[in-house]
Amino acid sequence: MKNKKNFLILSIVLLFSVLAVFASGNKENIDIVEDNLVAQYNKVTAEDAKNIFDTQKDITIIDVRTEEEFASGHIENAINIPLNILKREILNKYPDKSEKLYLYCRSGNRSSQGARVLVEEGYYNIYDFGGIIDWPYEIVK
C-alpha cells in the first residue's frame, strides 16, 4: 500500500514537471535528480523574460541579490529576497508551490542557486533568467 502511494506521488510530481516544461516553451531546462525523482527549473533568456513580464500578470519576479544591490537598481516590479534567506522566506511569502517565480541576480550564479533551492522546496514553476548585467532593458533605481 505504501509503495502504491509513493508511486502515485512520484507520478503526480513528474506529471507536473513535464507539464511545466511543455507549457513554458523554454529552450533549456535544468534537472535536479534526487532519490529517482526529477525536478526541474527552467532557464530563459532576458528577452523571453521581458516578453513574459510585458504580457502576463500572474508572475512574480524575485531578485536574489543583497538589499544593497537591489537598492542600486532592479527590474521593475521585482521583489527582493536575498539568496541567503530565500529558503526561510519563500514559503511564508508564496505558499502556493505552483506560483510562477522568475529569479535573477547580478550574473546568473545566485539565481541558479536560488532556483535549485526552490525546486528542492517543491516549487515547480521556477524560471531563472540570469543576471541583471545581461538585462538590456530599463531598471528602477
Residue 16 confidence (pLDDT): 46
Would you say residue 103 lies in a domain? yes
User: 9-24 burial, b if ≥16 CB within 10 A, otherwise e?
Assistant: eeeeeeebbeebeeeb
Residue 40 confidence (pLDDT): 82
Q: Provide the CB-side half-sphere exposure for 12 (13 A, CA).
A: 7
Would you say residue 41 lies in a domain? yes
What pLDDT tens digit does each residue of the chain (141 aa) get?
555 554 445 445 444 444 444 444 444 455 545 454 456 899 999 999 999 999 998 899 999 999 999 999 999 999 999 999 999 999 999 999 999 999 999 999 999 999 999 999 999 999 999 999 999 999 999
Cα distances (angstroms) measured from residue 43 to each of 21, 33, 94, 104, 115: 10, 17, 20, 11, 9
What is the count of structural domains for the chain? 1
Would you say residue 106 lies in a domain? yes
**Helix, strand or coil, per DSSP, at residue 4:** helix
Query: Which pTM value belongs to this model?
Result: 0.74
CATH code where residue 47 lies: 3.40.250.10
Would you say residue 140 lies in a domain? no
Q: Which domain holds residue 61?
A: 2-134
Would you say residue 141 lies in a domain? no
Residue 12 confidence (pLDDT): 52
Which three cell numbers, joined as nine digits, stand for 50?
521581458
Strand bridging mode 126-131 / 100-105: parallel
